[in-house]
Structure 1
Amino acid sequence: CRYEHAGAWIALMKRIAEPRMVVSDGGTGFAKALKKVWPIAKHQRCIFHVFCQIKRYTTSKPNTLAGVELYCLAKDLLKIKEKQEAETWVTRFTEWIKKYQEFLREMTVDEHGNKRPTHERLLKAERSLLKLIKENTLFTYLDKEFINDFIAPSTNNRIEGGINSRLREMLRNHRGLSIERRIKAVYWWCYMHSPEPLSLSEIIKTMPTDRSIAAIYQRMNDKSRLEKSLSLWGDAIVWSDLHKMDKSFTEWD
């Protein structure tokens, strides 16, 4: 989501009863919102999104042996069904780190003369997996408290494929709508596909108006433009850029 942040997640999550476990794709600000609004709920990172993230770093055809083995480890994440298999996977990943630690330490001098890791993308993949393991969010779905009661999901494919993809398809089929009408179309789709939709007369009463939708969009658009216009360190105007200085100058006789 373009405006995805902790505040937006908090506003959404406050309207929903706290679940026992929540599966997320690791969106910006979600972990912070989770601790504040649903402090008891367990967190599971979507295994499929984890796999896709590692695949982006290694590609599907890695050109190093370390990349090939890490990509295979990522694919194996999708097959884990038991706690013992998860522990075995973590052991294999630990052995991968030990095996290639010297390889991953290699440095390269770039065109500006600066040193940087030669295998930077593999290092990013390694760090992302280590972070999930330390947070205990990689195999939450295998916890005993869930296995004994119900089959906990390891991915959020149900909502991605069953709802989000349908919404994207609906918007593709109605290209050319204004932003207000696109938002309203999403509202209507969600209303009509809810388990117990209201009557049309009630939906019309609760449906946001074009004016209210436009106001929300304008407010978010103004905020985005303001954030983009703020100067970062080194971006601000320097006095000397607009004034010529020459300390060696002496007045004419």
Structure 2
Amino acid sequence: MKTMSCPSCGKRMKRNGATSAGRRRWRCTACGASTVNRYKRDADAEQLSLFLGWLLSKRTQGEMGLPARTFRAATSRFWKIWPVSPACDEIHHVVHVDGIWIKRRCVVLIALSGDGNVIGWHLARSESSAAWAALMSRIAPPDVVVTDGGGGIEGARRAQWPSTRVQRCTFHAFEQVKRCTTTRPRTQAGVDLYGIAKRLLKVEDADGAAAAWLASFAGWCSDYDAFLKERAVVDGAVRFRHERLRKARRGLEKLCREGTLFTYLDADLAKDGEVPATNNAIEGGVNRQIRIVLDEHRGMRLDHMVKAVFWYCVSRLECPPPPESILRDVPTDDDIDGLYEKAAELGARDESVARWGDAVVWSEFHSSNPWSHAGE
């Protein structure tokens, strides 16, 4: 049974009818004081929910139940919040990783679990090994990571997730060949290689399908070896005549050597769950939706676009935090500026700026251990 304590003496109160408005009245059994239970509304949390309801939808500000100017005045302060990626200590069977560029000036690296939940994100200036390592360091090593082969990922994986298997997205491998051959190759070698690359998308079982594909590619390399060695004089320099085909061959040869094309066919890995062959889950399930959010709110400045991406990632967490805890725990621009200034005073400006630009470690604002920046 729900009970109340007297605001005057602290003793137990009992129910005592209702007010004329129909609200429950309570009377203290000790001092006789009478009151009603007034539930406090968290106006800030309600306004944050309103702000996110607009930001992550197709509605305009005027469609949020308030005049557009009133809406902006009530919610503009939420642009100062920096949603921070939580640490993920749960071991996932499959993790997809990919980066989404914003105005070609910065990139948000995103990790997605096989269940379709975002488990981490990271702001960086480029897809470098250091940036990917910063993201991976906050996520428990999965059994398999599915990547598009972007720069820096493999170096970061070897450093942070050395025991994790790699599945190279077969669609991106095909696209890499298509960029070199086009969809209408002019040579028979290009026609054959393009056909082999397309068949890569249809290798669905381990009963010799992968071996057959590898054999067909090896046969192509053997059949056209002399053709690919042909040279010509271009602008006074001797060059290979079919450099684009050679580039496509090098890309596939590298993937074959590394053994990352058919990881999804490994029977031992399949025992713990299916391993996808492509990165479609994050390309279409997250990146595409982020692009829709940014397109619906065109004209935002760069830092607002970054924060919009962060807010979308927050909404895709397995257990998104309620607005009340966000307002209580998440850092703001002022917090980050304070860390920036503190780092400059300590003579470590470059290192801390890189951490801010790549990822703000939330524990630096809350940890009370002697090694945190806040304690210096």
Residue in structure 2 matched with residue 70 of structure 1 by the alignment: 193
Task: Specify which of 237, 241, 260 is matched with residue 118 of structure 1.
Answer: 241
Task: Specify which of 199, 202, 219 is matched with residue 95 of structure 1.
Answer: 219
Q: Secondary structure at the match of 1:108?
A: strand
1:46 aligns with 2:172: no
Residue in structure 1 matched with residue 128 of structure 2 by the alignment: 5
Q: Distance in 1 between matches of 2:299 and 2:316?
A: 23
Q: Distance in 1 between matches of 2:303 and 2:130?
A: 22
Q: Distance in 2 between matches of 1:172 and 1:209?
A: 25
Q: Distance in 2 between matches of 1:144 and 1:43?
A: 15
Residue in structure 1 matched with residue 298 of structure 2 by the alignment: 175
Q: What is the CA-CA distance between 1:207 and the residue it aligns to?
A: 3.8
1:116-171 deviation line (CA, Å, top 9, x unaligned): 11100000000100001001111111112122332111111101100011111111
Q: Secondary structure at the match of 1:149?
A: coil
1:103-122 deviation line (CA, Å, top 9, x unaligned): 101111112x1011110000
What TM-score do the two structures reach when normalised by structure 2? 0.55
Q: What is the CA-CA distance between 1:208 and the residue it aligns to?
A: 4.3
Percent of aligned pairs sharing the same letter: 45
Task: Specify which of 152, 157, 160 is matched with residue 280 of structure 2.
Answer: 157
Say which one has the larger Rg: 2
* 8 Å CA contact retained: 1:105, 1:117: yes
- Could you tell me which runs of 5 or more consecutive residues in structure 2 were left unpaired when the two chains were aligned: 1-106, 108-124, 341-348, 358-376
Amino acid paired to 2:216: R
Q: Distance in 2 between matches of 1:205 and 1:183?
A: 21
Q: Which has the higher helix share?
A: 1
Q: Distance in 2 between matches of 1:108 and 1:59?
A: 22
Amino acid paired to 1:101: D
Q: Distance in 1 between matches of 2:328 and 2:232?
A: 63
Q: Distance in 2 between matches of 1:55 and 1:140?
A: 22
Q: Distance in 2 between matches of 1:43 and 1:107?
A: 36
Q: Which runs of 4+ in 1 moved over 4 A?
A: none
Task: Specify which of 189, 196, 209 is matched with residue 85 of structure 1.
Answer: 209
1:173-252 alignment, distance < 5 Å: 173-210=296-333, 212=336, 219=353
Structure of greater relative contact order (alpha carbons < 8 Å, 6+ residues apart): 2
Task: Specify which of 261, 277, 288 is matched with residue 138 of structure 1.
Answer: 261
The number of equivalent residue pairs is 218
Q: Secondary structure at the match of 2:145?
A: strand
Q: Distance in 2 between matches of 1:69 and 1:21?
A: 31
- Could you tell me which runs of 5 or more consecutive residues in structure 1 were left unpaired when the two chains were aligned: 224-253
